[in-house]
């Protein structure tokens, strides 16, 4: 398996914390030039500073993936800064809990604008760059919730099922043109999002989430980053249209 991404250019959305941040650090450590993107500039600049302090190369580019013009500018800045785009990790996402009868149009628009439209518009602007190069890799962040239902999170679940479908369709559209498109599907991971999901990291809620996983614990961001780097590597050269479940056995039950 390829362990070096020397001279590769990687764009990561939702890279200011959690899985995105850890993946940015991992790609940089493996030699990639990383565009760190997100809505929070201070946090994004801090990730860039951490990468540079370790001898890596990175640039922050602020963007809201729900706004197509900002995504277009993000991809353009990537090419302007580093001359190409080899790997895109479309990781930006937002969670939502609540019964379906309580869902509002505002809830729906917020979740789908970021989780679904954000993936669509990211691929829309990333793929033309990769086509010109004749190659590229895209990884979309899905979820275990993209494979099964989850009571009390209907809108979120629907958005992640959409990511699964988008990933398969895009993979088929560009399989013969040198572009691989896959998804990574984490279960419950120790992140700020999980703290919000469990009401501020309440121990009772976290204990319940741990109990859902046969391995008896939550996942770590580093474990998802490892899966992302694998999917981006030459070791995964015959893998496209796949959702890699990194779930501690959750979906095997």
pLDDT at 2 over 60: no
> How many residues are present in the chain?
253
pLDDT in tens, 142-175: 999 999 999 999 999 999 999 999 999 999 999 9
State mean pLDDT over 65-72. Answer: 98
pLDDT at 182 over 70: yes
CA–CA distance, 185 with 153 (Å, rounded to integer): 16
Six token digits for residue 39? 């809505």
Q: Which of 82, 108, 156, 174 is catalytic?
A: 156
State mean pLDDT over 15-37. Answer: 97
pLDDT of residue 58: 98
What is the residue extent of each domain of the chain?
A: 9-187+220-238
Give the DSSP per-residue string, 58-83.
EEEEE--TTSHHHHHHHHHHHHHHHS
Q: Taking Cα atoms as reference points, which of 90, 143, 138, 166 lies closest to residue 236?
A: 138
- Which one is predicted more confidently, 112 or 205? 112
Active site residue 156: yes
- Which one is predicted more confidently, 87 or 198? 87
State mean pLDDT over 176-194. Answer: 90
pLDDT at 54 over 80: yes
pLDDT of residue 201: 59
pLDDT of residue 155: 96
Mean pLDDT of the chain: 94
- The CATH superfamily label for domain 9-187+220-238 reads NAD(P)-binding Rossmann-like Domain (3.40.50.720)
Beta strands in the chain (DSSP E): 9-12, 33-38, 57-62, 87-90, 136-141, 179-186, 243-246
pLDDT in tens, 221-249: 999 999 999 999 999 999 999 999 999 99
Contacts of residue 225, Cβ cutoff 8 Å, sequence gap at least 6: 19, 22, 23, 25, 26
């Amino acid at each position: 398996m390829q362990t070096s991404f020397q001279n590769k250019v990687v764009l990561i959305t939702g890279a200011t914390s959690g899985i995105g941040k850890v993946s940015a650090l991992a790609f940089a450590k493996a030699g990639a030039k990383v565009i760190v993107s997100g809505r929070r500039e201070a946090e994004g600049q801090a990730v860039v500073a951490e990468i540079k302090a370790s001898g890596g190369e990175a640039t922050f580019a602020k963007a809201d993936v729900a706004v197509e013009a900002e995504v277009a500018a993000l991809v353009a800045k990537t090419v302007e800064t580093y001359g190409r785009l080899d790997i895109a990790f479309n990781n930006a996402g937002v969670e939502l809990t609540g019964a379906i009868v309580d869902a509002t149009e505002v809830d729906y628009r917020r979740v789908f604008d970021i989780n679904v439209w954000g993936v669509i518009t990211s691929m829309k602007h990333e793929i033309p760059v990769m086509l010109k190069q004749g190659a590229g890799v895209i990884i979309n962040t899905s979820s275990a919730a993209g494979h099964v239902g989850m009571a009390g999170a209907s809108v979120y679940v629907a958005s992640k099922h959409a990511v699964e479908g988008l990933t398969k369709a895009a993979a088929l559209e560009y399989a013969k043109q040198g572009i691989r498109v896959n998804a990574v599907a984490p279960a419950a991971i120790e992140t700020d999002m999980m703290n919000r999901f469990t009401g501020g990291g309440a121990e009772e809620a976290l204990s319940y989430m741990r109990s859902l996983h046969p391995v008896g614990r939550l996942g770590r961001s580093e474990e998802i980053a490892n899966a992302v780097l694998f999917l981006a590597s030459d070791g995964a050269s015959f893998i496209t249209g796949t959702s890699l479940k990194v779930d501690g056995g959750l979906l095997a039950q």
